[in-house]
Amino acid sequence: MDKKNTFNELRQREREARKDVIVDAAERVFASKPFNKVSMRDIAREAGISPASIYHYFPDQQTLFVDAFLRGAKEITEILGDIIDKDSELCIENAAEEFIDYLSVNDQYFRMMTHFMLDGSLSDESLESLNQHARSLIDQFDNLFRKVMPDSNPRLLSHAFFAAMNGILITFRDYPGRSREEVSCHMKLIGRIMAGMLRKELTSSGQKSFS
């Protein structure tokens, strides 16, 4: 029985490793082409497998798309958690900069996120998985505002903060005539300014309007 379990575990690890290879390939393709132009054949070619083989691991392109996005969502959630755990008076500003920096460097995740926000055609299973990870990300923002502004309404502030950071990315990420590095620096600067303005406004109002 122990030997059987060992082989089962080995097969499962091998399956997960193959799925990771496919998701890696999908991310590279998503980073280079618009999502509505990507096919499973493109991803299979990048992964070095046949298109039919992908369907042994992912039932459809949507599921693969969601899995690729969730990898990035988990990573940025962990990054924000590390910032919040540090004892810093500027953790709102630092969170703003890290959020913008991550989605600037990993532009495919930002494009996936905006795609999901605008596309309501996800299956129930994919939507639930996506919502679960989105809640984890917003929960990190909640933790941030509980730490910095204990008397505030953290979920309201989290939504405002999340919307503001995404607004910066939407507005400036494709700014013409500037290098990618210049655009990234500009967006992070605006993020820190907006985070500082939010802190100042809530501090000066005594946070009473959010209690």
Question: How far apart, in whole angstroms, are the C-alpha atoms of residue 43 and residue 133?
Answer: 24
Residue 113, Cα to own-chain centre: how many angstroms? 7
Q: Is the pLDDT of residue 209 over 60?
A: no
Question: How far apart, in whole angstroms, are the C-alpha atoms of residue 33 and residue 65?
Answer: 13
Query: Could you give all domains of the chain from N- to C-terminal order, each with its CATH number?
Result: 1-58 (1.10.10.60), 60-205 (1.10.357.10)
- List the structure tokens of 121: 């055609």
Q: Is the pLDDT of residue 21 over 90?
A: yes
Q: Is the pLDDT of residue 211 over 70?
A: no
- List the structure tokens of 205: 């109002």
Question: What 3 state SS string does 56-75 have?
Answer: CCCCCHHHHHHHHHHHHHHH
161-199 residue pLDDT tens = 999 999 999 999 989 999 989 999 999 999 999 998 888
Highest mean pLDDT out of 36-40, 65-69, 156-160, 202-206: 156-160
How many C-alpha atoms does 47 have within 13 Å on its Cβ side? 25
| pLDDT computed for residue 208 by the predictor | 44
Which of 43-47, 75-79, 202-206 is least confident?
202-206
In terms of Cβ atoms closer than 10 Å to its own Cβ (0-12, 13-18, 19+), residue 186 is middle
Question: How far apart, in whole angstroms, are the C-alpha atoms of residue 15 and residue 56?
Answer: 10
Cβ neighbours, 10 Å, residue 166: 17
With CA atoms as reference, report the closest residue to 26 among 36, 15, 38: 38
Q: Is the pLDDT of residue 109 over 80?
A: yes
Instruction: State mean pLDDT over 103-124.
Output: 81
Under a CB-based contact definition with an 8 Å cutoff, are residues 104 and 168 in contact? no
Query: What predicted TM-score, i.e. pTM, was given to this entire model?
Result: 0.80
146-160 residue pLDDT tens = 888 888 889 999 999
Question: How far apart, in whole angstroms, are the C-alpha atoms of residue 34 and residue 111?
Answer: 9
| pLDDT computed for residue 123 by the predictor | 78
